[in-house]
């Protein structure tokens, strides 16, 4: 994994890919699938995400205030859905789905080796957690796997239907 400048993190999350989110609490690591996230600020990168209080990851994220957002490419689609269809309450999802945890630098939750990028995050704001389960995260450190070239991400459309990244178009723009 190679260092990714924090100024480029938004280019990974702004397109709206399905991501994985890892947590660690009391010696147990866990991973969930997440599509409800948005960039909030470019740099330092801030991300808002919704983690349902029905998810086992919710309590870990709220208590430890740390997570890793891992970006999987389409080759992992079956594992992404599998992770989203069971709970860390009664499943070691890393083992069950053959995902490899690796130590992060700044936080306790693990990176996921099979993902093409990993973002180490700390909870920056909890004002909307009680009402909406909405956390604001700051990305502290970002990693990219240069061996995965032009990874295609997937975008959930409901009930297991996903749009895979297709053609890339480039238009002259003043937008960052």
Identify the bridge partners of residue 50 per DSSP, sorted by sequence position: 134
**Cβ–Cβ contacts within 10 Å for residue 134, how many?**
18
What's the gap between Cα 128 and its chain centre?
Answer: 19
Secondary structure letter of residue 76 according to DSSP: G
Beta strands in 45-130 (DSSP E): 46-50, 66-71, 101-102, 111-112, 117-125
173 part of the interface to a second copy, by CB under 8 A: yes
To the nearest whole angstrom, how small is the minimum distance from the Cβ of residue 118 to a second copy? 18
38 part of the interface to a second copy, by CB under 8 A: yes
138 part of the interface to a second copy, by CB under 8 A: no
Do residues 70 and 49 touch, judged by C-beta distance below 8 A? no
170 part of the interface to a second copy, by CB under 8 A: yes
By rule CB under 8 A, what string of x and - marks binding of each residue 76-115 to a second copy? -xx--x--xx------------------------------
User: How many residues bind a second copy, per CB under 8 A?
Assistant: 58
Q: Which span sits near a second copy by CB under 8 A: 8-16, 88-96, 99-107, 112-120? A: 8-16
Do residues 49 and 62 touch, judged by C-beta distance below 8 A? no
53 part of the interface to a second copy, by CB under 8 A: no
Q: Which span sits near a second copy by CB under 8 A: 29-37, 56-64, 93-101, 109-117? A: 29-37
Exposed/middle/buried for residue 8 (C-beta within 10 Å: 0-12, 13-18, 19+)? middle
To the nearest whole angstrom, how small is the minimum distance from the Cβ of residue 140 to a second copy? 18
39 part of the interface to a second copy, by CB under 8 A: yes
The C-alpha R_g of the chain, in whole angstroms, comes to 15
4 part of the interface to a second copy, by CB under 8 A: no
First-last CA distance in the chain: 25
Q: Which residues bind a second copy (CB under 8 A)?
A: 8, 10-11, 14-17, 33, 35-41, 46, 48-50, 74, 77-78, 81, 84-85, 125, 127-128, 131-134, 136, 152-176
């Amino acid at each position: 994994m190679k260092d990714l400048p924090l100024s480029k993190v938004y280019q990974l999350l702004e397109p709206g890919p399905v991501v994985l989110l890892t947590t660690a609490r009391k010696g147990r690591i866990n991973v969930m699938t997440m599509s409800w996230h948005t960039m909030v600020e470019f740099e330092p990168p801030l991300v808002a995400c919704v983690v349902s209080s029905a998810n086992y990851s919710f309590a870990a994220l709220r208590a430890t205030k740390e997570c890793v957002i891992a970006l999987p490419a389409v080759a992992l689609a079956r594992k992404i859905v599998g992770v989203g269809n069971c709970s860390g309450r009664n499943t070691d999802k890393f083992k069950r789905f053959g995902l490899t945890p690796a130590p992060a630098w700044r936080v306790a939750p693990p990176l996921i080796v099979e993902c093409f990028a990993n973002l180490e995050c700390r909870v920056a704001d909890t004002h909307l957690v009680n009402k909406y389960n909405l956390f604001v995260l700051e990305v502290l450190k970002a990693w990219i796997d240069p061996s995965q070239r032009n990874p295609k991400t997937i975008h959930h459309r409901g009930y297991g239907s996903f749009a895979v990244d297709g053609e890339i178009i480039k238009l002259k723009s003043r937008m960052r």
